Structures are given as C-alpha cells and as structure tokens.
Structure 1
Amino acid sequence: MARRLRPVDSGFVGRAPVRHVFAREISAPPDAVFHALAHDVPGWTEWFSAVTVARPTADGTGREIRLRGGTRFDETILVAEEPSVYAYRVEATNVPGVRALAEEWRLAPAGGGTRVQWTFAADGSAVFRAVLRGARAGLGRAFRDAVTGLDRRLTG
C-alpha cells in the first residue's frame, strides 16, 4: 500500500469535489442490509462482484478491501448507526492520484423493504477527478449489480 490518503470526516461525503450518488429499493429489511454491510464484512465477496477480499481490521474499526484488478484499500469506519448509516474512509490505497476517499451507505424503510443509497466521494489530482467523473456509469452499474446480489443473498 504505497499511498496514504488525507483523513476526512463523515461530512466529506457531502462536500467532496467528486461525488457519485446512487439509490435503489430492494426487498430485504433495513436491519438485515445494515448487518450485511457493517457486521458481515467477509460476506461482501458473496454479493459485490468487484470485491475479492473483505476482512475486518483494527478490532472491527477498520477493513481491508481488495478489488478485481488489484486495487486495495485500508479503511476506517466513520459511522455505524444501526440500521440507517454506514460510512468509511480510505486510509491507504494503491490507486494513483487519489488524495481522499470516503463512501457512505444510507438505508431507509421503503415499500416493505429498504431504499439503499450509496455515495462515493473523492478528491485527487485533476486527472484522477476527470477519470472518476467518467467512471460514473460503471460505478452505477457496479452498485446496481451489488445491491441486487445483496438482496438475493438476504431474501433468497
């Protein structure tokens, strides 16, 4: 892990230079979704196809995440408010150009299930920001596929 990032607080997701926000309703209840996000970290590999390794670190206050293609993240949990908000920031990564990165999952009851909203927030070099803006459609597809997989896993 070559690159340490600037530490940010949970408010960064609302003020980051690049923010992608996606939402979808699923049939699983909010408490089950929160549990899968916050407490079953190794389970992420079962429903988020880009994730190849997910394990808690630092007595559960952090996570190690590896993605297909070799991307790695060491993360710190910022917020774990059951059953509605789960957020974390990246402390270190091998992604070039990134200076700060945080993600937030917001859950709300909806139609007998859950409205899942994911915010991907980042700052970095001009090139990194441009690439990330261009990656919006791909991130949206990854979110939709992941949340669909999570719903299948929880209600299947």
Structure 2
Amino acid sequence: MVLLWTCLFAALGGFLFGYDLGLIGGALLQIERYFHIRGSLPLELIVGAAKLGAAGGTFLGGAAMARYGRRRALALNSIAFTLGPLVMAAASAPWLLVLGRFIVGVGIGVSATVSPAYIAELAPARIRGGLVQLYEVMLCVGMLTAPLVDWALSGVGSDQAWRIMVRA
C-alpha cells in the first residue's frame, strides 16, 4: 500500500500537467477581459510559454536526475509547481502570466521526465507497467478536472475568478 501511495504522489506531476492543459482555455477568456488584451499575440504567448518551459524542463529533469537522483529531483520540482501558480495568481500584467506559465511549464517538463523514471525505479517488475501508467492516468484526471473548475468558477461573477483557476 505504501508503494501505491508513493507512486500516486510521484504521479501528481501528471495531474498538474493535465490540469494545466485543460485550465488555460477557460481562464484565458477571463484573463483577456481583465487585462483588456487586444490581438492574439499576448494570448499566444501566455499559452505557449508553458510549452516552451516544458521543452526546457525535460532536459533539466534529466540533468537533475543525474545530479541529485530521482527523489530529490521530484522534490526540487515542487518549487516550480508552487512558484509558477503564485506568480500567475498575483500577476498585475500579462508578462507576469507568461513568466508564471513558463515556470509551470518547466515543472511539467521535469515531471514528465522524472516521475515515470522514479516510479519505474520503485516498482517491482511484475507491476511496473501498471504503476508507471499512473502518470498518464493522473494526466487524464487533471484534464478532466480542469474544465469542471473552469465551469464552477465561470459563474462566480468576479473578474478575479481566473486567479483562483491558475492558483488551484
């Protein structure tokens, strides 16, 4: 049972990845209105920053595993998954959203590399495939959760609801 909980905890990066993928669509509508964004470039930068960060994060994840080990790399990665949403939720300008999304993207890239490797390292051979798959399952759970959060907060009536979405 301890192994399962440890693997689920390690797979939380997959949940956060999925949540980020599903969240941005609903939040972006409110962000656009809140910051009076005109044109598509600022919106594309907000969305694309996470993907750019994830691309770099995969390399950072490999280097962190080699230097610190898988468990420490996951622990260090929690900084990105904490700092990024805080920067986004406190954003006073669109460029801060881009920065926060980039930081979250780095976390996504690191977790996509480190989480499955860590789980595979922990799991006995007979159940390794099922446990490593938890990362992808959690990714799907995150993608299913995000629209529910978007929907629940869309009727709040506050121009600040997007801050809750990106912080959650």
Higher share of residues assigned strand: 1
Superposition TM-score, scaled by structure 1 size: 0.31
Structure number with greater CO (CA < 8 Å, separation at least 6) is 2
Higher alpha-carbon Rg:
2
Higher share of residues assigned helix: 2
